[in-house]
Amino acid sequence: MDRFVLWGTYCENALAKRVPFREEHLSRLSALKQNGILITLGPTKCNKYVFGIFESKSLEVVKRHIEDDVYWKEGIWTSFEVYPWIQAF
């Protein structure tokens, strides 16, 4: 399995706009974490960016996980990039 880093952006007023979707989002992230796919994920303190680390067989699988998230589908996340990552320490 390889590790991948996610960098993305949130929409304007994301804290308010995410409210109707938050439980679904967190529940899904919890399942991904329990299955060993998601290592960590969360916003920067300014709530402008999202950062995450995933473990998966391929970049395409990670992108699918992101695109299947309600935050992506509802426009809470507005863009994302995923990069293969080598953990040095």
What is the number of alpha carbons within 13 Å of residue 34 lying toward its C-beta?
A: 6
Q: What is the pLDDT of residue 87?
A: 87
Residue 12 has what DSSP assignment?
Answer: T
Quickly list DSSP for 19-82.
GGGHHHHHHHHHHHHHTTSEEEEEE-TTSSEEEEEEEES-HHHHHHHHHTSHHHHTTSEEEEEE
The confidence score (pLDDT) of residue 62 equals 98
The model's pTM:
0.93
The whole-number pLDDT of residue 52 equals 98
Phi-psi region of 12 (alpha: psi -120 to 50; beta: other; left: phi over 0): beta
Residue stretches of the chain with pLDDT short of 70: none
49 token code pair: 């960016």
Residue 13: per-residue pLDDT? 96
Which residues make beta-bridge pairs with 10? 77
